[in-house]
Structure formats: structure tokens, C-alpha cells
């Protein structure tokens, strides 16, 4: 039987939903960061997590597959930056082991979804 799920908006993408949840989790888990990190690592984690979800949404809204792929590449780069920031936050003791494991696992899921969507778009488009 054919899949009847229709993607009508970027909000229907599992990738966007997972990236949005990651962003929300980053906001929640950075709430207790030390005051001196307010404009440092805390702000960077939040900004980078937003960048992932923003670029997925913006890419979806673009007119061409080539543009879409470019924004997915940017989201992928931001996702790598976010992973590094999460590892730093854990190493500095700003994130608990439990929070960091959860965030890093979700970050890895987002990486796989990003790669899968980009791969599918490249296969579908003769000249991305």
C-alpha cells in the first residue's frame, strides 16, 4: 500500500520536528548554566540549535533542490558545531551527564535525518 503521508509544510518533516525538539531541549537544559555563561556558551548553544532548525525550514521553502541542499548543508554544519558545543559544556561541567547524553543522542538522530534527506534529494534531482 502506498504511503499516504503528505508533506505540506516543513513542520511535517520528521527532521524538522526532531531538530525543533532538540532546540527546545537545549533551551531547557541550558537554563541552569552559570551566570558567567549567559553570553558565552549558553548563548552559543541556543543560537546554534536554532540555526539547525531554521535552516531546515528555510531550505524547504526554497524554489530549487540545489538551494534546498545548500540549506541542509548549512544545517548539517551547524549540527556539527552544536555537537562540539555540547561536548564542551559537558567537559566544563555545565551539563549533567544525563542531559548531555540525551542531547547528543538527539543531535546524532538529526545528523542521520539530515544526511538521509540530502541523499534522497540528490537521487531525485538529476542536477542538484
Q: What is the pLDDT of residues 21-76, one digit of tens each?
A: 999 999 999 999 999 989 999 999 999 999 999 999 999 999 899 999 999 999 99
pTM of this prediction? 0.90
Q: Is residue 47 one of the residues assigned to a domain?
A: yes
Q: Is residue 1 part of a domain?
A: no
Task: Determine the pLDDT at residue 124.
Answer: 85
The reply to whether 5 falls in a domain is no
Q: SS3 breakdown of the chain: % helix, strand, coil, rounded to 5?
A: 75, 0, 25
**Mean pLDDT across 9-15:** 95
Q: What CA–CA distances, in Å, run from 54 to 2, 48, 98, 121, 127? A: 30, 10, 26, 19, 25
Which range marks the domain in which residue 61 is found? 10-124
Q: Is residue 103 a part of any domain in this protein?
A: yes
Give yes or no for residue 1 having a pLDDT over 90: no
Answer whether residue 2 is part of any domain: no
Residue 87 maps to which CATH number?
A: 1.20.1440.60
Say if 18 falls within a structural domain. yes
How open is the CA angle 66-69-74, to the nearest 5 degrees? 130
Asked if the structure places residue 28 within a domain, the reply is: yes
Please provide the distance, in angstroms rounded to a whole number, between the alpha carbons at the two ends of the chain: 30
Residue 118 is placed in which grid cell? 540530502
Each residue's pLDDT tens digit, 100-124: 999 999 999 999 999 999 999 999 8
Give me the number of domains the chain comprises: 1
Quick check: is 88 in a domain?
A: yes
Amino acid at each position: 500500500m502506498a504511503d499516504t503521508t503528505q508533506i505540506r509544510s516543513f513542520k511535517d518533516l520528521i527532521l524538522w520536528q526532531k531538530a525543533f525538539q532538540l532546540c527546545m531541549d537545549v533551551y531547557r537544559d541550558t537554563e541552569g548554566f552559570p551566570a558567567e555563561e549567559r553570553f558565552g556558551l549558553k548563548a552559543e548553544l541556543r543560537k546554534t540549535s536554532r540555526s539547525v532548525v531554521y535552516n531546515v525550514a528555510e531550505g524547504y521553502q526554497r524554489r530549487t533542490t540545489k538551494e534546498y541542499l545548500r540549506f541542509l548543508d548549512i544545517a548539517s554544519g551547524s549540527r556539527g558545531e552544536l555537537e562540539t558545543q555540547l561536548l564542551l559544556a559537558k567537559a566544563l561541567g555545565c551539563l549533567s551527564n544525563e542531559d548531555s547524553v540525551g542531547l547528543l543522542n538527539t543531535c546524532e538522530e538529526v545528523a542521520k535525518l539530515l544526511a538521509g534527506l540530502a541523499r534522497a534529494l540528490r537521487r531525485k534531482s538529476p542536477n542538484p
